[in-house]
Amino acid sequence: MLKLRLTPSNILPILLNLIPLFGVWFLGWDAAQIFLVYALETVIIGAVNVLKMATVTIFVKPSDTWENGDSKSMQSGWFFIFFFIIHYGFFVFVQTQLFFAVSGLIKDGSMFGKYAQVPAALGEDGTFLFISFIVYHLVQAYLGFIRTGQYKTISMGRLMFQPYIRIVIQQIVVILGSMFLTFGLGKIFIVVLVGVTIFFEVFVNFDSMWAVAEKKKEEEEINN
């Protein structure tokens, strides 16, 4: 589902994603470090989602319906959170390992030891952008989840899987981008990366996509 009009809330993500574009093209930022930040955005999104799930569990409902195939049961919100951390954590692990292998940004160390090198690999510019992304996602969570009251009505199941559509798209773009680094085309692909990110951030209505999917699922359950 596409959003055809820009709103004031769209200004922040547009400006945020234009920062790395300007930095790489005009301030001499390392494109590899910027790609690393976009790869690590997956971690930020997951951590913020855990905070959302904890908010619902603590302040709204301590348990919710867990669907496993055709069976349903009531499970604690903390069970949802634990499952999300394990499942989503595997997603993050695969994405980051692919990025490390293809980009060559972090070459030494064991499979898990490479993560200890991430802060140094980010550099000052990458660290600044990474912190900016953290602030942005926290602000977005407050404005779109807390202030709107969405946390009072959303199901834990929907909240748990909410980040996945966006993350799959992000993984594809980041992995392709890391390949461009091997050919010295970082400046060119940063334009593509920022453009694609802004498009999905601003013009794709993920909430509508989830609503359509849930409605279709309900209709299938009724027909069956």
Contact assessment for residue 97 and residue 111, using Cβ atoms and an 8 Å cutoff = yes
The answer on pLDDT for 1 being more than 90 is no
Query: Is position 21 within any domain?
Result: no
Query: Is position 123 within any domain?
Result: yes
Distance CA 72, CA 59 (A): 23
Contact assessment for residue 169 and residue 45, using Cβ atoms and an 8 Å cutoff = no
**DSSP code per residue over 124-149:** HHHHHHHHHHHHHHHHHHIIIIITT-
Query: Is position 16 within any domain?
Result: no
The mean of the pLDDT values for the chain is 83
In this structure, how many other beta carbons lie within 10 angstroms of the beta carbon of residue 170?
21
- Provide the domain limits for residue 50: 29-184
Distance CA 207, CA 158 (A): 10
At 126-135, the pLDDT tens digits run: 999 999 999 9
Query: Is position 206 within any domain?
Result: no
At 90-121, the pLDDT tens digits run: 988 888 887 787 767 777 778 788 888 899 88
Rounded mean pLDDT, 65-78: 86
Contact assessment for residue 47 and residue 140, using Cβ atoms and an 8 Å cutoff = no
Query: Is position 199 within any domain?
Result: no
Percent of the chain exceeding pLDDT 70 equals 83
Query: Is position 8 within any domain?
Result: no
The tally of domains found in the chain comes to: 1
Distance CA 130, CA 133 (A): 5
Identify the CA nearest to 40 among candidates 110, 97, 109, 108: 97
Query: Is position 205 within any domain?
Result: no
Query: Is position 194 within any domain?
Result: no
Residue with tokens 């461009």: 180
